[in-house]
Each structure stands twice: as structure tokens, then as C-alpha cells.
A = this chain, B = another copy of it.
Amino acid sequence: MKEPRVAIVGATGMVGQEMRQILEQREFPLADLKLLASERSRGRTLEFRGETLPVQVLDRGSFDGIDLSLFSAGTGISKEFSPLAVKAGAVVIDNSNAFRMDPGVPLVVPEVNPGEALKNKGVISNPNCSTIQMVVVLNPLHKEFDIQRVVVSTYQSVSGTGKEAVEELMQQVRAAEAGEAPVAEVYPHQIAYNCLPHIDVFLDNGYCREEQKMIDETRKIMGEPDLPITATAVRVPVLVGHGESVNVQFAKPVEPESARAILAKAPGVEVVDDPANNLYPLAIDCQGNDPSYVGRIRKDFSAPNALNLWIVSDNLRKGAALNAVQIAELLLG
């Protein structure tokens, strides 16, 4: 694929907007960009490389002449329209949960399993945000020290839910300031000044789907179908940037210093780990940046060969739009 004609489905959403900007920033060699969204966005225009592009309403004919389609408009839209895009000859890079665990669909983080992208049969899935930022850090450590078990607790920002959740947090903050009762519509409870141990729907095993995604997707991406991993997903009143407290047990002896040295050379990772100078990854610092930041790397004395890590990344970029564009880059001939 050279100079593909590209479509973004969900072009007016938070991730869709990031996709457009990242295509521009990375000078992605596209012949043409088509911006697709729902009826609600009819008549809107968006800028791309100095040009004003119309937002077009997604329909069954939208993919005629498209070579590459980036989907970020929810699972329902992906299920309905990605087969049409593939039929029209486009490769689909899908940011939704629709096909991630489909054995025939590659689930790709370019720093971890780039070779899978080329095995696609029309659709490549972009993993969950929390999973991506974690596996770019875990994979280089796994190669060196052989991971035996992962326990992760997340601190996830509201932008992972979407624009309406960002607006809800801001409105609740203003309501609290005015002494009014905060209204919760997007989330089941107030998110301002609160933490919700609940992301996506609850499953029969007591996990919420976000937690199950982190377990299943990490195993698939790292090619370790039985990797012992458990997750607790928590929404926090942060706008952009997901944090993760990650406890990792390894088969081989590991020191924080050697882990730091390996991560310092790992693609897509930046080590920020100088607690004496109050330097550690922060959500407010990661916004608009590409890496998965890791710090607070220290020995866990409660188990042999174990480390604690603190990982933060921009959930809209590496957690979504950037990873999708990086997958697209793998497809360029």
C-alpha cells in the first residue's frame, strides 16, 4: 500500500480528532483523507494540512475508493460498517472492541507484535488503551526476565469514555463550586472528587469488561495465552492520561537498575524515574506526547524477582489514535 486513500470513521470524536492530527504530524503519505461521522456532525468541517475538509455522513457507500479506514466510532458502527469497508477493498484498523479477540483478527501494538499486522484478512484491531501502554513496557521486560504474573490497578481518565464524560466531569466540578448537586448521566455515580471502580459493563465473573480486556488482550498481543494476569480498573477525575500501578513477578532475577536500562532502550517507552527530584510519570505531563512513561521502578520485597512500576500514557494517543496510525504505517509498502 502506497499513498493510500484514507477514511476516518468517527472523525469528530476525541480519538478521531487525534487520528487526524497524528496523520498530519507524522506526515502520513496519504493520497486523500475522507472524514466520516454520524448525522449529528453533518455540515461540520475540519482542518487537515492547511485544507478545510467537510465531514461526511457515514453510509453504505462511504468506502468506495478507500484503501485504508481507521474506525473509532464504537463497537456497533465497527460491526456494521467494517465489513462494507473491507468489501470495498479497504483495510480496516478498528479501535473498537468488536473484533479484538477474534482469532482471525490481528491485535497489534507495533512495538510488540508488528508482524501480526501483515497477516490481516482485512481487519486489524487496535487494542484497549490501558492494555497498549502496559504491554509496550512489559514486553521488553518479558523478553529479558520472563514474566510469571502481573497484578495491575488502573487510574483512568474520563477522556477514555469520550467527550461527554469530559464535559460531565467539568460540569460536576462547576456544580460543586456553586454548591449544587452534581448530575451524573454518563457514569452511574459522580466522578468529580471521586474514584469509580467500574469501567465498562460487569461480567459474570465479577470483573468489569475493561479488566477482562486487559487480561485477554495482553495475552494475545504478547503471544502468551496463559499469562497469569489480573486487573482492577478504576476511573479517576483526570481529563487525559491513564495511570497504572503494575506489580510484576519474573522467573529470572531482576534489579530495578537492569529493568531501567532495558526500558531506556525500549521503543515507545520513556523512563521518568528520579523520585529524589520528584520526577515520575504524571497524567498532566503525558498529554499530547507519544511514549508510554514508566517510573517508580522498585523492588517488590514481598516475592522473589518482583518489581513495582508506575506507567502513564496519553490514552487518546498511544492508547488509541497513535497506535492506530502506527499500525497503518506498518502497512505502507
By a beta-carbon cutoff of 8 Å, the part of chain A in contact with chain B is 149-151, 153, 155, 173-174, 177, 188-190, 193-198, 202, 205-208, 228-230, 232, 234, 236-239, 243, 245, 247, 256, 275-276, 278, 280-284, 295-303, 306, 308, 310
Main SS class of interface, A: mixed
A189 CA to B272 CA in the complex, in Å?
Answer: 15
| Residues from chain B with Cβ under 8 Å of A308 in the complex | 230, 232
**Cα distance, A284 to B194, chains bound together (Å):** 6
What number of copies of this chain does the assembly contain?
A: 2
Chain B nearest Cβ from A160, distance in angstroms: 14
In the complex, the answer to whether B205 meets A153 with C-beta atoms within 8 Å is no
How far does the alpha carbon of A303 sit from the alpha carbon of B148 in the complex, in Å? 10
Given contacts A189-B284, A193-B238, A230-B302, 6 further A-B contacts (CB under 8 A): A149-B303, A197-B245, A197-B280, A229-B302, A232-B247, A245-B245
Q: Which residues of B contact A234 (CB under 8 A)?
A: 155, 243, 245, 310
Bound together, the chains give a CA A283 to CA B235 distance in angstroms of 12
Q: Does A284 lie within 8 Å of B193, measured CB to CB?
A: yes
Query: 26 interchain pairs (CB within 8 A)?
Result: A151-B247, A153-B232, A153-B245, A173-B173, A173-B177, A189-B284, A193-B283, A194-B282, A196-B282, A197-B243, A197-B280, A197-B310, A198-B278, A198-B280, A202-B276, A206-B256, A206-B275, A206-B296, A206-B299, A207-B298, A208-B275, A229-B302, A230-B247, A230-B303, A232-B247, A232-B308
